[in-house]
Structure 1
Amino acid sequence: MIDIKIEKFQGPLNLLLQLIEKEEMDIAEVSLAKIADQYIEYIKITDKISPDDMADFLVVAARLLLIKSKALLPYLCAGEEEEEIKELENQLKMYKEFLEAAKGVDFLLGKKKFMFGREFNRKLILNNLNFFSPPKKLTAENMANVFKELIGGIRPLEKIKEEKLEHKISIEDKILSIRQMLINKIKFNFNRILQHAKSKTEIIVSFLAMLELIKQKDVIVTQEALFGDMEIMKN
C-alpha cells in the first residue's frame, strides 16, 4: 500500500483509514484531493503497478470518501453507499482471484506442461485420409445422451430488466446554477438548492459546488447553529 504524506499524518493509506474508523483522527482534517494527487504522481513514476495495490487503493479511497460524505452531510442515509462499496470490494476480490488464476495458466503455457490426447487410427493417419476416428467405446446412444444434456443445460433467454439512465450533473453545472440564482437574489439558504435535487449524488455535487465557490471567494456562507441550515450570500 502506498505511503502518503498530509498534514498530521504520514504513512500507509490503510493505516490512515484504521485511525479514522477508530475515531483517533478527524476525517475533516484529511484532504482526499491531496491523497488522490499523490497516488497519481506515484502511478506516473512507477513502471509497473500491482493490480492488488490498485484494487486495495480503490477500496480504501472509496471508504474514506463515504466517511467524509457522512461527516459533511450527516442527514443523508448512507446505507446504499455502504452496500455499493461492499459490492466494489467483492468485485475487486474476484478480479484479483482471476488475475492469480491467469498467472497460473500463463506459467503452465510458458513451461509447455500441458497435453491433449485422443485415440487415433495410426493406419488412417499414415495414409493421410480425411476420416473421423472416434473413440472405440463411443456409440450413437452415448452421443445422443451428451447432446440431450447439452441442450437441457442451456438456460432459457431471460428478459433484460429495463433500466432508466440517471441524469448526471457536474460540479461545473451546479456552480453555474448557483451563480444564476445569485443574480436574482443576493442571498438564500442552501436547502433551496436541495429542493430541486433528484438524487443523493446531486446533493453531494451541490455541496462540493458551494465549497468551490467559497474557495474562489465568490460567495460567503454562514451557519448559525451546528448542523443548521447554511446561508449563501454573494461576496
Structure 2
Amino acid sequence: MTETADSTAQATQVSQESHHAQQAEMPFGLVYGKAITKLPDDLYIPPDALEVFLEAFEGPLDLLLYLIKRQNLDILDVPVATITAQYMEYVELMKAMNFELAAEYLVMAAMLGEIKSRMLLPRQKEDEEEEGEDPRAELIRRLQEYERFKQAAEDIDQLPRLERDVFLAAAKRPEYSREKAQPDVDMRELLLALKEVMHRADMFESHQVSREKLSTRERMANVLDKLKGREFVPFIELFNPEEGKLGVVVSFLAVLELVKGSLIELVQTAPFAPIHVKAKTLVLEESDVLAQLELEDEPETEIDAHDGTEG
C-alpha cells in the first residue's frame, strides 16, 4: 500500500510539472524579442494609458437603433424607459472616456427624457381623447426612416466597386518595328507583269464614236437635188428629223445660202401659211451648181455634229 501511494504521488507530481511546463511555453507578450510570462511586481499602469475602443455610431439614431436590435425589441413598441437608461449609460461612458459629444446626442437625450416623462405622467381621459397620439410616434417614425436609409446604404455598399472589388487591368503594348524584306524579283518577271497590266488596261478601254461633220455646201447641193424637176416643194420637206437639231440647223443655213445666191426663192401665199421652196431654174445640173458654188468668195461653212461648232 505504501509503494502504491508513493507511485501515485510521483505520477501526480510529474503531471503537474508537465502542465506547468506547457503553460510556461505560452507567453502573453514579447519585449525586445524576449518572452514575458508574468508581469513585473513594480509595474505601474496609469489610468489614462489604456484606451477602450467602442463601436462607432454615426449619430444618436444609429445608437438607438443598435440598442433596439441588440435586444431584439420591436421598433413599433419601444420600451422608452429601458432604452433611455441604456442610452444615458452610453453617453456617460463617452464622457468618462473624454470623448467629445456632439450636440445631437444631447438633443436626443433630452427628447428621450421628455417622452419618458410624458409616458409616466398620468393623463385624464379627456386629454387622451384630445391628443390621441403616442408620444413615441415621432421617434418611431424617425427610427424607421433612418433604418430604411441605412439598409439602402448597406445594399449599395455591397455592389461591386472599382478599385475595391473590381480592378482594371492595363498593359502597354511593347513598341517594336519589323523590317520589311525587299522582294527578290527578276527583271523578266517585272516585264511579264507589266505586259499583263497593259493587257488588262486595253480590255477596259472604251470605243469612242465620233459624229460626221455636216457641210453646209453639201447640204445646199442636196436641197437643189430635192428641188430638181419639182415646181414647189414644202419647206418642211427639206429637213430630216433623224439628224436632230444639228441637221435642222445645217439645212436651214443651206436654204439661207441658196436664197442669198438667188438659186431658190421662198413663197408664202398668206401670213402664217405654209412656206414653199421653188428653184429659179427648173432644169439645173448638179455640176453647174457646184461650179457656181465654187465661184463664191465666202468660205465654206461646216458644223461639227459632235460639238455643234461651225468651221
Question: TM-score when scaled to structure 2?
Answer: 0.24
Give 1 or 2: higher helix fraction.
Answer: 1
Question: TM-score when scaled to structure 1?
Answer: 0.31
When Rg is computed on C-alpha atoms for both structures, the one with the higher figure is 2
